[in-house]
Amino acid sequence: MKLLFNRVFDGADEMYAIAEKTLNETVAELGESAPINMPNTGYFLANHYSYLGKRVTTMGELKACFPEVKSWMRHEQRLGDAFKSGFGTVMAAEVIEACKYAKSSEPYGDEYHGHLSDAEVRELGVPLVTGDIPGFVVIIGPAPSDEEAVELIKGYQSRAIFVFLIGGIIDQAKRMNLSMGFPVRVVAVGPEIWCAAHIISFVNRAAMIFGAVQPGDHEAYDHYTFHRIRAFVNAFDPVADIVVACGGGAIAMGFPVITNDTKDMWPVPKSLIIQEDTKNFIETSLEARDIKIKVTKIDIPLAFSAAFEGEIVRRNDTWVDIDGSRMDCFEWVRTLEAHEVEDHSIELIGPDIDSVEPGSRMALSYVLEVAGKNMQSDFEPVIERKFHNFLNCVEGVMHTGQRDIIRMRVSKTAYEAGFRARHIGEVLYAKVKSDFESVVDKCQVKIYTVPEQLKALRAEATKAYDARDARLLSLTDESVGVFYNCILCQSFSPAHVCVVTPERLGLCGAVSWLDAKATNELDPNGPCQVVTKERVVDENIGIWEDVNEAVNQASHGSLQQVTLYSIMVDPMTSCGCFECICGIEPMTNGVVIVNREHAGMTPLGMTFSEMASMTGGGVQTPGFMGHGKQFISSKKFMKAEGGSARIVWMPAALKELVGAKLNKTASELYGVEDFVSKIADETVAEDVDGLAAFLSEHEHPVLNMEPLM
Amino acid sequence: MPFKRTPQQFAASIKEVTIGTGDKAVTLGGENVFPLYSFDAPISNPPKVGVEFSDTGPDRSVPGIAAFYAGADSLGDVAKRACDMPGADFVSLVLESADPNGDDMPIEECVALCREVAEAVSLPLVIQGSKNVEKDAKLFEKVAEALQGKNVLLMSAREDNHKAIAVAAVMAYGQKIGAESSVDINLAKQLNVLVSQLGIGGENVVMNLGTAAAGYGFEYVASTMDRVRGAALAQNDNMLQMPAITPVAGDAWSVKESVAPEEDFPEWGPAEQRGVSMEISTAASVLAAGANAVILRHPDSVAAVSKLVSELM
C-alpha cells in the first residue's frame, strides 16, 4: 500500500511537472514580458499573492516565482510537508491556469466558468460570512451515475450550499440538463483538477477582503479559512494522486475531504473521511465541517403566527382531542448521540389522525430527539417548555399543559386544510432548529399513536422527568460552579441587575438558573452572562468579590455590591417586575410578603403598590426586597437573617401556592411542622395588633428569634 | 473660598469615524470629555450637522423648505442644493420609497437614485434606509456596492440584519455603518459586540442609539445617551466608544406640535415655526446628551444648531 504522504508528494510532483511544461511552452510562445491579467481582479494571481506576497503581472514574473513554488514541495515524511506541498500544488495549478489566461481573456468561453471576478467574490463572500449560504462544496470527478450526480448537486442546492464542480461531474450535469451558473449557485469551474486554483483564489481573496489578511502571511490565511470559511470537498472514486495533493491543501485550509475511494486511502478524523455510500455524502460532509442548515420556513398547510397563540378550539369544532388527562399522551425532549439522529426525520409510528371519527379522543405522544456538540441535558426542559408556545402558534391547533399532562386539540378546519400528525413534527423541528440553533445540531421527531406502545414509552419518559426533578432539587448555590446575571429589565430599570442562582430565581419568577444558563448558551452576548463565584467573602450572607464586580459592571457602575442572602445588608435590587415584595415588620421582627395579585392592605400599613414604589428602580432599600414566588420556599430566602422562619404574614392565595414547599423547607431547616399555618393572612389580620396576637396564639418561631435590627 | 477648576478629562476617548472623501470628509468623535465640555479639554471634532431629504424630494409642504429648494427638481439638484445649505456638514438621503409597506421601490431603482445623489453631492453622504429589516439588508448591500469609494455612512444596521449590512457595507465595499438600537444601552452594546465579532473595527461604526422628539419620552433617550457616554469614558467600555449620530428630523416633524394647523391652535402660532423649534430643541438636547452628529431638515434649524455648536466650541 502506498502511504498517504507519498500520494501527496507524488501528486504534487505531477502537478509541478505539468505546470513546468505549460509555463515553458507559454513563455516560449508569448515571451517573458507578456502580461498576465486575470480578468476583473485587483489581487493579481491571488494564490501567489496570498502565499508568497508577490504581485505577478507578467510571464517573466511568474517564471521567477516558480522555484519558490518548488521549494514548498519538500518530501519528508512530515505532516507539515504534506500540507505545504498541498499549497505548492495549488500554486502550481494556478501557474497552469494563469498561462491559459495569458493567452486569452476567456479561455473557457461559455463552457466553463474558470476564474471568478472580484465582484463574484464579494457577492458570494457576503452571504458566506453572514451564514446565509452555510458553506460551499467542491465536487470532483464523475459520480457513479448521472442521476446520482444531479441528486447530490440538488441535495446541496436545497440546503443553500454553494456548489463548485470540477471534472466529469460537469458533463454528467450537462447530460441531465441541470441548470448551472453563478445565480443558481452551481458553478462548473473547469474540466481539470488544476481548475481548483480558481476556487482557492476565491477563498484567498475572501480572506483578504473580509478578513483583512495580509498578503504573504500564510498562517493568517490558514487561520481565516479554518475558522471562517465553511467549505469541504467531495471527491469521487477514483481519486488520483494529483487530486490527493490538492486535497492535502484543502485539508490544511480546514476543508475536509469526503470520498468513496478506498484504495490506498487513509482516513484522517474530521479531515479525510471515507464514506463508501455516496448517498450519505451530504450528511457526512455537513457534519465533518460543522455546518448547520438554517430552517427558513415551516412546512405545514396552515398559518403559523403568534396571532393564533390564544386561539381556543371548542369541542364542537374539534376534529381530534389528544387528551393527556385520560390517555397516555406526553411530550418529551431527549438528547442522543449525533449518529443516532437523522436530521429532519419525522416518523409517525401508528395510525394518523385521519383514522378517527371527527370529534373523538386519541392518544398521541411526540418525542423530539436532538443531538448537538453544545447540547446539555439541562436544556431539555427548556426546549420542551417552548412546545406549548410553538404548537399554539399553529392556526387551528390548541395546546395546553406539559410533560404527560398535555392536551391538544386539532380543529376540523385545520384537519380539512390537510393538517396531520406529521405536521406536529414539522413545527417542532423547524422551531427548535431555529430558536435553539446554537445547541441543537440535529433533530428528529417521532410521533407515537399506538396505545400499547405509549404505555411503555410514557413510563420511560416519566423516568426522565423524575431524573430532571431530582437534578433540580440537587441544584444548590454550593453545587454549581457559576451563577448568571440577568439584565433583561435594564431598558426601563437601568441600574438593576439580577443575580440568578439555583436557589434564587430572578425576581420576575420567569428566569431560573437553568433558564439563564440556556439563555447564555443560546445568545452568548445576550442579557444573561456568567458570574463566577470563586472569591468568596462571606458565604453566610452571600458576598463574593466576583459577584460584586459583575454587578458593578452590568449596572454600569450604579451598584457596587450586593449580598445574595440578606435583606438588611446590600439587598439585591429590583427592577419592577417582582412577583412579590418582602418587607420587614419591626414590631414582630418578622417579614411580610405580598404578591402582585393581592390588592388589599398589609400589616405594614402599605399595599403592594405602595411597597413597590420604594422597592423598584434598581435601588437598594435595606428591609425591602423584590423576589419571585418560588424563592419563598428556598433555603436561601433571607438566610442571613434566619430564613423563612421570619415570614409572619402572606396573602392566603400565596400561602396556598407555596405552602407545601414552604412547609417542607421549614421542617428541614427548623424542625417546625405545618409552618404555613402559623403565618397570618388577610383573613386574620390586616394590622400589626391582629398580627401579633395571631403569632403568639400559634407560637410562630419568629417570637424566639433575635431582633432584626 | 476661591473656585478651583478641575478639568474632567478621561483616559478613554470616543473613537473617530470619518465619512466622505477628500477635503470635505467629516470626522465624528475623538473627544475625551463629556458632550460639549470643551472647557475641560479641546474637542477636536465638534458635532456635525446633516441635511436630510427624502428620495421623493424635500418636504415642500413646509414653506421655508420649499423656498430653499425652489427650482431644484431632480433628486440630483435637490442633493446639490442641500450641500449649499449654510451650516451643513453632510447630507442625508432617506430611501423612504423602498419601504415594502409603502411604494416598495425595487432595489435597482433605489440604487440608481443613490448613484444620482452621490454624483451630485459635494459633502459626505449618509443614507437612511426603508426601516424594513429584510429590505434594508438587501438594499444596503447593493447601495454599498454601487457607491464603492465614496465612503458613505449606511444607516442602519440593526440586530436582525447587522450581519448582512455590516459585512457587505464595511468589509466588501469599504463603507461605514450606523448601528441602530432602540434606546437601550445594553442592546446598543450587544449590537456593537456582534458587529465587532465579525471582525469590524470601531472606526467603521457609528451608533444610532434611537431617539424621540423632545417632550415625547425624551428622558429615556437622554438617560441612555448619558449612560453610554459614561460607560465609554468613565468605565473605558470600548464596546460603547463609537461616536453617535441622531436623525432628529423624522421625529421632530411628525409630532402634533409640528403638524397641527394654525387654524386649530391659533394660540400656538405658525406651524412651521413650531416645527423648527421642535427640531432645534431636540437637536440641542441630543447634542448635550452625547450625539456627535444630528440630521435635520429645515434651513433655519440647520443654521441655528450649527451656530449653537460653533459658539460652544
Q: Could you report the average pLDDT of every consecutive run of 10 residues in chain A (709 residues)?
A: 89 96 96 93 95 95 95 87 93 97 94 95 90 92 95 91 96 95 93 96 94 91 92 96 95 95 90 93 91 82 86 92 92 94 94 94 96 90 89 92 90 95 96 90 95 94 90 89 90 85 89 89 88 95 95 88 94 90 94 94 93 86 92 95 96 94 95 95 93 95 90
Count of domains observed in chain B: 1
Q: What is the mean pLDDT of each run of 10 residues along chain B (313 residues)?
A: 85 95 96 95 96 96 96 96 97 96 95 97 97 94 95 94 94 95 91 92 95 93 94 90 97 96 95 97 97 98 98 92
Q: A306-473: which CATH topology?
A: 3.30.1650
CA distance A64 to chain B (A): 32
Give per-residue pLDDT as tens, B158-179: 999 999 999 999 999 999 999 9
pLDDT, position B223: 92
CA distance B20 to chain A (A): 21
The H or E element spanning position A386 is: helix A379-392
pLDDT, position B85: 98
Contact yes or no for B235 and A129 at CB 8 A: no
Give the DSSP letter string of A76-117: SS-HHHHHHHHHHHHHHHHHHHHHHHHH-S-TTTTT---SPP
Return d(Cα A570, Cα A387) in angstroms, integer.
Answer: 39
Across the interface, which of B168, B172, B227 has its CB nearest the CB of A556?
Answer: B227
Look at residue A266 and give its three-state secondary structure.
coil
At B159, which CATH number?
3.20.20.20
The residues spanned by each domain of chain A are 4-103, 118-288, 306-473, 482-704
> Angle at Cα A595 formed by Cα A593 and Cα A596, nearest 5°?
145
Q: Of A260, A257, A150, A270, whose CA–CA distance to A196 is shortest?
A: A257
Across the interface, which of A125, A494, A525 has its CB nearest the CB of B172?
Answer: A125
Which residues of chain B have a CB within 8 Å of the CB of A491?
183-184, 186-187
pLDDT, position A568: 94
- Rounded to the nearest integer, the mean pLDDT of chain B is 95
Return d(Cα A542, Cα A42) in angstroms, integer.
Answer: 61
Which residues of chain A have a CB within 8 Å of the CB of B141?
126
B23 is a domain residue: no
CA distance B284 to chain A (A): 24
Return d(Cα B270, Cα B260) in angstroms, integer.
Answer: 9
**In which domain, by residue range, is B111 found?**
36-312
* Residue with grid cell 483616559, as numbered in its chain: B11
Per the structure block, which three cell numbers stand in for A37?
Answer: 491579467
Residues 6+ apart with CB under 8 A from A46: A38, A200, A201, A202, A204, A205, A208
Contact yes or no for B185 and A210 at CB 8 A: no
Q: Which of A227, A498, A525 to mutate to test the interface with B (most CBs of B within 10 A)?
A: A525
Return d(Cα A193, Cα A257) in angstroms, integer.
Answer: 14
Contact yes or no for B183 and A491 at CB 8 A: yes
pLDDT, position A681: 96
Per the structure block, which three cell numbers stand in for A195?
Answer: 481548475
pLDDT, position A405: 87
Please count the CA atoms within 13 angstroms of the CA of A119 that sit on its side-chain side.
9
Which residues of chain B have a CB within 8 Å of the CB of A524?
none
Burial A382-420 (b: 16+ CB within 10 A, else e): bbbebbbebbbbbbbbbbebbbbebbbbbbbebbeeebb
Across the interface, which of A209, A525, A553 has its CB nearest the CB of B193?
Answer: A525
Residues within 8 A of B (CB atoms), A 87-126 only:
119, 122, 125-126
Across the interface, which of A125, A132, A212 has its CB nearest the CB of B199?
Answer: A212
pLDDT, position B75: 97
Which residues of chain A have a CB within 8 Å of the CB of B223?
494
B216 is a domain residue: yes
Contact yes or no for B193 and A130 at CB 8 A: no
- Domain at A118-288: CATH code: 3.40.50.2030
- Domain at A4-103: CATH code: 1.10.8.190
Cis omega (within 30 of 0) on the bond before A238? yes
- Residues A381, A461 contacting (CB under 8 angstroms): no
CA distance A417 to chain B (A): 29
Dihedral sign, Cα of residue B48, residue B49, residue B54, residue B57: negative
Q: Of B130, B111, B205, whose CA–CA distance to B167 is shortest?
A: B205
Look at residue A673 and give its three-state secondary structure.
coil
DSSP letter at A356 equals S
A556 and chain B: CB distance < 8 Å anywhere?
yes
| Closest residue, chain B, to A558 (C-alpha) | B227
A479 and chain B: CB distance < 8 Å anywhere?
no
Decide: residue A106, CB within 10 A, 0-12 exposed, 13-18 middle, 19+ buried: exposed
Which residues of chain B have a CB within 8 Å of the CB of A553?
235
A527 and chain B: CB distance < 8 Å anywhere?
yes
Edge-first strand order for the sheet with A186-190 is A186-190, A162-166, A136-140, A231-235, A257-259, A272-274
Please count the CA atoms within 13 angstroms of the CA of A416 that sit on its side-chain side.
6
- Domain at A482-704: CATH code: 3.40.1470.10
Which residues of chain A have a CB within 8 Å of the CB of B237?
556
Task: Label residue A298 left, alpha or beta by phi (over 0 means left) and psi (-120 to 50 means alpha).
Answer: beta
Q: Which residues of B touch A (CB under 8 A)?
A: 141, 145, 163-164, 167-168, 171-173, 183-187, 190, 193-194, 197-199, 223-224, 227, 230-231, 234-235, 237
Rounded to two decimals, what is the model's pTM? 0.78
Query: Which phi and psi angles does A440 have, rounded to 5°?
Result: -100, 110
Contact yes or no for A556 and B230 at CB 8 A: yes
Strands A331-335 and A407-411: unpaired
pLDDT, position A130: 83
Which residues of chain A have a CB within 8 Å of the CB of B173?
122
Across the interface, which of B164, B193, B231 has its CB nearest the CB of A132?
Answer: B164
The H or E element spanning position A633 is: none
Q: Which of A118, A124, A130 to mutate to test the interface with B (most CBs of B within 10 A)?
A: A130
Across the interface, which of A131, A212, A487 has its CB nearest the CB of B186?
Answer: A487
